[in-house]
Structure 1
């Protein structure tokens, strides 16, 4: 599972832009909305493919494919202080398993099961990547602010998440926080394992660049009101390009490509936390 660890850099950019309010569509990672009831969730399944370019290897490029499962659940409600005031919050849990398919299940190796449990103010789930800071002004954020949270990898002991923010990309999913998300076609009736689901297609992209590295992420996301957190299906692709620091931008060459395809497989009821926390 070594190749699984080759994620793009998980640098957190708290503020990357300051702008005037606009009607441009955006998306807050995997969370379009919160379910009305607690104890519900959704299980996604699909594939995670990685292409590694090896121009100097006699074996050529390497392509590896795994099965992936992601469960998102609402596992508790409580009042907590956030941004200076007490307000309704939810405990949300994300469980990611990545491995090879085996007898209808996923054979995940050590460290390949990840659980994130976070307490989130309900007010921050507002389907926008922009956080208001003053009248007529906002900042773009690439993460989900949380009250507190914990993470657990494999058999390790659960650890607090510090600083108190949750980054969806890349450890939980390849979906980014897109500022340019826009409708990509007419409403569709998706054929999913959970049944026929009416959904709307949205497309978004995000590119980051340094003198030696460029990462381009794009996604097609189907949103549905019938799904607890608002997303029924997605395909997300991250392409990494590299070049020497003194070379012109035209010399960027693809070195790595990740494609994630996920669909809602099961709607969950009576969901409970799988992570024991203090």
Structure 2
């Protein structure tokens, strides 16, 4: 029996990834803080998020409050498979905390982390927050608290400089999405700690942009999770016929990160750059293969 963990931040095609893995008859895969079977393309739609908001909020609070064995016992109880895994149930930063709290897992896990260009991640988060803040006041409270804790004086300055109301709904949604870049930093800080955890085999970092568009990269991703025997051509064809799953952003433009950043309003560029630089993401994300030469005011 093979167990795997795909860690990632939200807004990184996690629903697409979990759904794609679950298309394979040999793989049973769950998704999100709800730890729910990823058999529905609309799993993270606004309709479902609103309907299951209590479960989702409970899952957030329990992410670091259960052992890996407890989480994976729940997954195994969902059905019979050769491979059991999860996507975005856990983030990189959760694994060291769980290990310290609960000790070594009885199961062994292959772990892969998925990353996304922070420019596109923020734009996707901005789109989701414009929806989510309307009905998830827990997320509104939590994210606004991050903004206040990290950069209250800075955002007050932005409000004055650009004559905008930082508390206006759309403005706060964008600023909040930028403040979430702190979470990427926490995941980066967890890398050496994850390597030291017994029964955790960290197998690498993949760009979301690669695995969702390149069949060979997706196959490499599968191999890293110990799923090479499940990567036949019929299955791969099914995955890449799936199309877009759960789009958070509020536009349909297919832009590069460079083009997306250049469409930001001047104040949005300054806010993004503040949080991106404050959390010192450039060097680490360049090591993952991203280029940020265009990030200028």
Shorter chain as denominator, the TM-score bin is: under 0.3
Could you tell me the TM-score, scaled by structure 1's length?
0.24
Name whichever structure is richer in helix by fraction: 2
